[in-house]
Chains A and B, each alone.
Chain A
């Protein structure tokens, strides 16, 4: 496993402009999640939400290596996956708010967002469902565009039948599938170690699928791993698995304060905040801190504008859905 560099070295980031863009994406995701949380507390976002705060390096790092022909299946903790793929943040927010202008017209809500035009097959609300959707996408893409399908899922999904069935299925047929396990240490409220036998990658390797565990708080580590993974899948060598170690800075869902976490654990992970880690690296590589501060200010302004526009957008008047396509 890679490690977080406490004393950043130079020459780590291969493309500073790219990482500046990734930095802005990570700021957007964090700010978006804070905004969703505040709107939730204000009663403007409904039901439940699962925030991506703390895991930003994974979605942005993986998305940075994908091509137009690739496709992604996200989880119900999927706002970050969507934003990293380029889903319009205003439309995504409006979806949370249940408005007509939402990316799915208010039909989907937080857990079910999809945007095929942005390469997002969907966000799948059943633990493990994303893996099946991506497996099928890989089956089709491998025969058509040569694209690769990426599935995001959490450590909790490792105990679902979806994982084993689709791992085996995709390996037998050598499908172009990249499996990204975001191990944030908890399946809902339960520490994954207390409900998961053995090591995650060992389960995968036994099927001959290459797997590696990486530091999911370091976006360049994620990007480098994703480059290797996508190359493997695109070459026709079958599925590949990445376990990215990460942490969510918030509870499982909006109703969860995370009281089950041991004292100090959150603080230890916050010290490895992927945004802080990337910023330190950018500065170490000579990026002007004032530029990065400016990016943060711009993001705050953009998010406030999004909030105002979203709250002003109309709700759908009525559901006019056709059950079937003619």
Chain B
């Protein structure tokens, strides 16, 4: 299999799902004629036409509402909210309509929609185009949150998200778009974490861009004789705690690396669950996240803000020696 870029994996997965199911439609700002501001929908408008793939006004609330209303009347909409920071504008329909309907209809009518959104810092986009909105949505029952780290998972999990009958928020980290890897084209399963590197001494749990930072830190620590097990959550909601707890029972230490504010993040949720289920196995548990401030623009400030491999290795070295 040839290696393709993360953004191409997204594009190809959309292409496959549009081809496989005529109920699938794709709409958002600049997704059609222009092919997406991050070039993730190139050529889909030409191939499927304006009935299936169309550009919309800059109206995130209308986008989310149109997705909800059409999803409960037989379509399977995939919408793009260009930057995750703009999800605030779509939030009412997503939270108060899409994630409530299955429950309120007594589980008769589900809401098969996908909201794709570009997230994450490191692109010099400043405070309001760089956020990681995962924690805004962690406390919303009825919503799945997918956060892939590789082209293979981007493809497999986007396909799974489009085939899923529930509302799915699908995060694409902007610093992963150029990452290349092999893609087999099969659909994956939501809600399953994966051990991407086996180790004995400590469990490192993370997602998206930070998986690669964690692996880099693990390489550095391996050279010093410390063995780090790295888990890629892949889906933040529902969390695959079994995989995490099984690892902690082996290593007795856990660090959760979250690109996102320390307070109220999903890292705290992972740690809380580990404490509930494996307290007796724990020797140490902590979080590495971003400071509780907005994201700075200036490159040295933004680089220092993020939990990169250097900081991850340093903290593990200091605490787990």
Which residues of A come within 8 Å of B, CB atoms? 71, 73, 104-105, 107-108, 112, 114, 116, 121-122, 124-126, 129, 131-141, 143-144, 149, 161-162, 165-166, 168-169, 172-173, 321-326
Q: Which chain A residue has the least Cβ–Cβ distance from B105?
A: A114
A132 engages B61 (CB within 8 Å)? yes
Partner of B92, one of A107, A116, A126, A326: A126
B104 engages A108 (CB within 8 Å)? yes
A324 engages B74 (CB within 8 Å)? no
Q: Which chain B residue has the least Cβ–Cβ distance from A141?
A: B73
Q: Which of A116, A143, A144, A162 gathers most chain B CB within 10 Å?
A: A143
B93 engages A116 (CB within 8 Å)? no
A139 engages B75 (CB within 8 Å)? yes
CB distance from A68 to the nearest CB of B (A): 14
Q: Which chain A residue has the least Cβ–Cβ distance from B108?
A: A116
A136 engages B96 (CB within 8 Å)? no
Whether A144 contacts B73 in the complex (CB less than 8 A), given A136-B68, A139-B66, A165-B61, comes out as yes
A323 engages B92 (CB within 8 Å)? no
CB distance from A153 to the nearest CB of B (A): 13
Q: Which chain A residue has the least Cβ–Cβ distance from B110?
A: A325
Q: Does B311 belong to the interface (CB within 8 Å)?
A: no
Partner of A137, one of B63, B73, B165: B73
Please, which residues of chain B bring their CB within 8 A of the CB of A172?
A: 56-57
Q: Does B97 belong to the interface (CB within 8 Å)?
A: yes
B62 engages A169 (CB within 8 Å)? yes
Which residues of B come within 8 Å of A, CB atoms? 51, 54, 56-57, 59, 61-75, 77, 89, 92-93, 96-97, 100-110, 141-142, 144, 165-166, 238
Whether A116 contacts B96 in the complex (CB less than 8 A), given A143-B51, A162-B65, A323-B142, comes out as no
Once the chains are docked, how many angstroms separate the CA of A105 from the CA of B144? Answer: 25
Please, which residues of chain A bring their CB within 8 A of the CB of B69?
A: 73, 121, 132-140, 149
Once the chains are docked, how many angstroms separate the CA of A173 from the CA of B166? Answer: 26
| 16 further contact pairs, Cβ within 8 A, besides A139-B70, A161-B61 | A107-B106, A108-B104, A121-B69, A124-B96, A129-B92, A129-B96, A132-B61, A132-B64, A133-B97, A136-B68, A136-B72, A140-B70, A140-B75, A143-B75, A165-B65, A169-B59
Q: Which chain B residue has the least Cβ–Cβ distance from A175?
A: B66
* Tally of contacts, chain A with chain B, CB under 8 A: 130
Please, which residues of chain B bring their CB within 8 A of the CB of A73?
A: 69
Please, which residues of chain A bring their CB within 8 A of the CB of B103?
A: 107, 321
Please, which residues of chain B bring their CB within 8 A of the CB of A321?
A: 103, 107
A132 engages B73 (CB within 8 Å)? no
Once the chains are docked, how many angstroms separate the CA of A73 from the CA of B101? Answer: 13
B110 engages A132 (CB within 8 Å)? no
CB distance from B119 to the nearest CB of A (A): 22
Whether A136 contacts B101 in the complex (CB less than 8 A), given A323-B142, A325-B166, comes out as no
A169 engages B70 (CB within 8 Å)? no
CB distance from B42 to the nearest CB of A (A): 23
CB distance from A120 to the nearest CB of B (A): 11
CB distance from B24 to the nearest CB of A (A): 12
Q: What are 7 residue pairs bridging A and B, where the CB atoms are less than 8 Å apart in the complex?
A: A126-B96, A129-B96, A135-B62, A140-B73, A143-B75, A165-B57, A321-B107
A165 engages B62 (CB within 8 Å)? yes
Q: Which chain A residue has the least Cβ–Cβ distance from B165?
A: A325
CB distance from B46 to the nearest CB of A (A): 19
Once the chains are docked, how many angstroms separate the CA of A325 from the CA of B111? Answer: 9
Q: Which chain B residue has the least Cβ–Cβ distance from A136?
A: B69
CB distance from B249 to the nearest CB of A (A): 26
CB distance from B30 to the nearest CB of A (A): 15
Partner of A122, one of B54, B93, B101, B110: B101
CB distance from B105 to the nearest CB of A (A): 6
Please, which residues of chain A bring their CB within 8 A of the CB of B100?
A: 112
Q: Which chain B residue has the least Cβ–Cβ distance from A144?
A: B74
Q: Which chain A residue has the least Cβ–Cβ distance from B167?
A: A324
Please, which residues of chain A bring their CB within 8 A of the CB of B109?
A: 116
Once the chains are docked, how many angstroms separate the CA of A34 from the CA of B72? Answer: 33
Please, which residues of chain A bring their CB within 8 A of the CB of B96?
A: 124-126, 129
Q: Which of B51, B62, B97 gathers most chain A CB within 10 Å?
A: B62
A132 engages B66 (CB within 8 Å)? yes
CB distance from B170 to the nearest CB of A (A): 15
B66 engages A135 (CB within 8 Å)? yes
CB distance from B113 to the nearest CB of A (A): 9
Please, which residues of chain A bring their CB within 8 A of the CB of B51?
A: 143
Please, which residues of chain B bring their CB within 8 A of the CB of A143?
A: 51, 75
CB distance from B144 to the nearest CB of A (A): 7
Once the chains are docked, how many angstroms separate the CA of A60 from the CA of B101? Answer: 25
Partner of A136, one of B57, B66, B104, B238: B66
Whether A136 contacts B106 in the complex (CB less than 8 A), given A169-B57, A172-B57, A323-B142, comes out as no
CB distance from B299 to the nearest CB of A (A): 35
Please, which residues of chain B bring their CB within 8 A of the CB of A139?
A: 66, 69-70, 75
Whether A129 contacts B97 in the complex (CB less than 8 A), given A116-B105, A140-B69, comes out as yes
Once the chains are docked, how many angstroms separate the CA of A323 from the CA of B108? Answer: 13
CB distance from A282 to the nearest CB of B (A): 37
CB distance from A318 to the nearest CB of B (A): 14
Q: Which chain A residue has the least Cβ–Cβ distance from B69?
A: A136
Once the chains are docked, how many angstroms separate the CA of A112 from the CA of B238? Answer: 26
A136 engages B105 (CB within 8 Å)? no
